[in-house]
Chain A
Amino acid sequence: MEIRSKEFKERAVFAIHDASLQQALGKARGGFVGKRAQQAAELPEFEALREEAKNRKNAILGHLDHWLERYEAAVTAAGGQVHWARDAAEAREIILGICKRVGARTVTKGKSMVSEEIGLNEALIEHGMEVVETDLGEYIIQLAHEPPSHIIAPAVHKTKDQVSDLFVAAHGGPRKTEVADLVNEARQVLRDKYFRSDVGITGGNYLVAETGSSVIVTNEGNGDLTQTLAKVHIVTSGIERVVPTLDDVTLFLRLLARSATGQETETYTTFSTGPRRAGDPDGPEEYHVVLVDNGRSKMLGGRFREMLRCIRCGACMNHCPVYGSVGGHAYGWVYPGPMGSVLTPLIKGLDNAYDLPNACTLNGRCASVCPVKIPLPDLLRELRHLQHRQELSPAIQRHALTAWRFVATRPKLYRAGEWIAVRLLKALARNGSLRKFPFAEGWTAARDLPAPAGKSFIEQWKSRRGQS
């Protein structure tokens, strides 16, 4: 998927004025936040689990190479095959190669953010294959020719009305307006695709080193049908998703659904280990795992390692007031919200996503709900630091900072500037505030600027109390 993060500002403004988007975002915001809070409150050890999950992830990342090799050996022993992809292009080539070898015509897909990250659908379609997204949200946005706007609720930006219209256009009428009817309609259409599928591609929430299993969680069961009914199952996953044992899986599972959708657990949690064995009633003939690096090993060796703890729950974006205002598409690439604002510049380049780390108030709500305690605001600030050092920030901002430092490290000069400022602002104020002020149009476009009292606090303190 082509990155459009450079257009963040324009797209954000557009989103704020998109009435249907705002309606959809408002609905989602209330649901996710409230349900997560309720789940967290009902589980006494929830906070302890977050701490444990953080520590467990750190321990795994400390020996990631080891666990990945153990995982590969276990997959191979179960009859599957692991493929290593350094970047998006390699990952696409590997998957295309498998699909072409088996003569795939129809490819079904469970929800996979890594497949979005590597731009898989476009590549498969370009080579003449029919690609069918089977997650309802993904299916909706595929019909709309749009990228996902949320990592677990890809069509969260769509209203029910818009979905009705898309279904009429794609399936022919009659137009359904009840959610249950819309879901049934999609189910009918998709059922046929599962049976015709040559290759089923899913993501992998966890890759278990001790068993060689990949684990997916869904609420629709679409992932199960995708991976068991196709002749070939391909798992696409980032290298950071490996965990040593099934015990580890249970730890992260306890946090994932609660943090993501505010459910105690997802409807379906499915483990798949290798291809169909002799005597198995179903399952694929071939089982492949494509492990994608795409910038992750570089993160592992640097100051952004903590980002690799991410379990892709989406809680950060659900709680982010900026995401809640502009939605996911404004961020311009695959991963939106706070986690995306860290990942996108790291994967696609600092200069390609300048605004993402900056369009944040550092309010910290994301970090306060992150199930693996990633210090997202600190990482965003660290990215700003890199942008500043590489002079990617606007020249005017760097000059302003230099001037500010020059004045603020010279208290007498600072006091003199303040002396002028309080008087100037007071003179320009009318009835307690300023409606306009040069250099502060960003502020006064939407708000008045309070008028100062006419003398600074320190000035008044000195005259009332004498020198300190």
Chain B
Amino acid sequence: MTQHPGKSPRVGLFATCLMNVFRPGIGFAAAKLLEDAGCSVEVPDAQTCCGQPGYNSGDFDSARALARQVIELFEPFDYVVGPSGSCMATIRHDYPALFEGDPNWSARAQRLAAKSFELMSFLHDELGVTRVDAGTPLKRKATYHDSCSGLRGLGIKGQPRALLASVEGLELVEMQDAEVCCGFGGTFCVKYPEISEKMVDDKVANILASGADTVLGGDLGCLMNIAGRLRRINAPVRVFHTAEVLAGLADEAGIAGRTEGAA
């Protein structure tokens, strides 16, 4: 831990828009992991979206409008942490770029960027967490999908794997092309559905070939894409966010999993 000996760092939890709607459990898992690591967690309820959909659609003005909102809301915290490499890469890399040369916002964007982290890298690299207490041992063979923004934008690769290694009963196997995009790409998947389907099919083929019964990852967009495809083809593979497994909250149906009957 880098600061506040004896005082718990105040973390603003960035509730990503997909998590907030589709998988609140990830938010509670993130809060539990942060609190277990000694942080005090708050969830500002005026937060909406990081602005990435606008940025990646070329609407930089809208992205800036959302970015200003996030900066103002999260500035008071010691850290901003979110369970998504994608949203947190937007705050860390894109905010400073969006406000480059802006006398009012550039420094504020850079300050926020410097204290904003994706959950796994924050736990592992900033807080020095190496083991988690995931509760009841899991009997799962899992494979980890490296989401692109986290992997290439934030260097997230070893951290989730290291933390997952401390989960009793969990066997981690590497699939072929774990680092290749699953075809989600935000609005890409609805703008170019056929290409996206081809890409997620390639991903699913690698998942099935790995022999894993569980897929883990750090970005809900990718996980919804993979899980939605697995469900459509009736593949008996469950999908969880890494945080859910680490927090011992992966005992229910996976993402897009059947809520009745066996998976």
Q: Is B66 an interface residue (CB 8 A)?
A: yes
Q: Is B135 an interface residue (CB 8 A)?
A: no
Contact among A383, A414, A448 with B48 in the assembled complex (CB-CB below 8 Å): A414
Question: What chain A residues lie within 8 Å of B75 (beta carbons)?
Answer: none
Are B25 and A453 in contact (CB-based, < 8 A)?
A: yes
Question: What chain A residues lie within 8 Å of B26 (beta carbons)?
Answer: 457
Are B62 and A359 in contact (CB-based, < 8 A)?
A: no
Residues 294-334 of A, flagged 1 when their CB comes within 8 A of B and 0 if not, give: 00000000000000000000000000011001100000000
Contact among B15, B45, B66, B186 with A409 in the assembled complex (CB-CB below 8 Å): B66
Question: What chain B residues lie within 8 Å of A450 (beta carbons)?
Answer: 22-23, 224, 227-228, 255-256
A227: min CB distance to chain B, Å: 39
Cα–Cα, bound, A404→B59 (Å): 11
Question: What chain B residues lie within 8 Å of A381 (beta carbons)?
Answer: 55-56, 58
Question: What chain B residues lie within 8 Å of A402 (beta carbons)?
Answer: 62
Of the candidate stretches B116-124, B156-164, B166-174, B196-204, the one touching chain A is B196-204
Cα–Cα, bound, A227→B181 (Å): 42
How many A-B residue pairs have C-beta atoms within 8 angstroms? Tell me. Answer: 217
Are A368 and B44 in contact (CB-based, < 8 A)?
A: no
Cα–Cα, bound, A393→B181 (Å): 24
Chain A: CB-nearest residue to B12:
A468
Q: Is A440 an interface residue (CB 8 A)?
A: yes
Residues 216-243 of B, flagged 1 when their CB comes within 8 A of A and 0 if not, give: 0000000011011101100000000000
Of the candidate stretches A8-16, A69-77, A163-171, A198-206, the one touching chain B is A8-16
Chain A: CB-nearest residue to B180:
A321
Q: Is B153 an interface residue (CB 8 A)?
A: yes
Of the candidate stretches A38-46, A184-192, A256-264, A458-466, the one touching chain B is A458-466
Cα–Cα, bound, A467→B229 (Å): 37
Are B54 and A384 in contact (CB-based, < 8 A)?
A: no
Cα–Cα, bound, A456→B225 (Å): 20
Cα–Cα, bound, A397→B58 (Å): 11
A31: min CB distance to chain B, Å: 14
Chain B: CB-nearest residue to A450:
B256
Are B184 and A361 in contact (CB-based, < 8 A)?
A: yes
Q: Is A86 an interface residue (CB 8 A)?
A: no
Cα–Cα, bound, A418→B231 (Å): 25
Question: What chain A residues lie within 8 Å of B181 (beta carbons)?
Answer: 321, 361, 363, 365
Near A by CB (< 8 A), chain B positions 23-73 give: 23-28, 31, 42-49, 51, 53-60, 62, 65-66, 69
Q: Is A249 an interface residue (CB 8 A)?
A: no
Query: What count of chain B residues pass the 8 Å CB interface test?
Result: 73
Q: Is B3 an interface residue (CB 8 A)?
A: no
Are B183 and A456 in contact (CB-based, < 8 A)?
A: no
B250: min CB distance to chain A, Å: 15
Are B232 and A446 in contact (CB-based, < 8 A)?
A: yes
Question: What chain B residues lie within 8 Å of A445 (beta carbons)?
Answer: 193, 197
Are B199 and A457 in contact (CB-based, < 8 A)?
A: no
Q: Is B96 an interface residue (CB 8 A)?
A: no
Contact among A367, A404, A453 with B62 in the assembled complex (CB-CB below 8 Å): A404
Contact among B24, B188, B202, B259 with A359 in the assembled complex (CB-CB below 8 Å): B188
Are A432 and B256 in contact (CB-based, < 8 A)?
A: yes
Cα–Cα, bound, A431→B43 (Å): 30
Cα–Cα, bound, A321→B23 (Å): 28
Are A448 and B231 in contact (CB-based, < 8 A)?
A: yes
Q: Is A83 an interface residue (CB 8 A)?
A: no
Contact among A393, A421, A449 with B57 in the assembled complex (CB-CB below 8 Å): A393
Chain A: CB-nearest residue to B31:
A461
A-B contact pairs, 5 of them (CB 8 A): A321-B181, A365-B180, A432-B253, A450-B227, A461-B15
Which B residues form the contact surface with A (CB < 8 A)? 15, 19-28, 31, 42-49, 51, 53-60, 62, 65-66, 69, 148-149, 152-153, 179-181, 183-186, 188-200, 202, 224-225, 227-229, 231-232, 253, 255-261
6 nearest CB pairs, A to B: A361-B185, A447-B228, A384-B58, A442-B190, A388-B58, A457-B24
Q: Using A388-B57, A401-B62, A443-B190 as known contacts, list a sample of 6 further A-B pairs with CB atoms less than 8 Å apart, ordered by residue number in A.
A: A321-B183, A365-B152, A408-B48, A422-B21, A446-B228, A451-B259
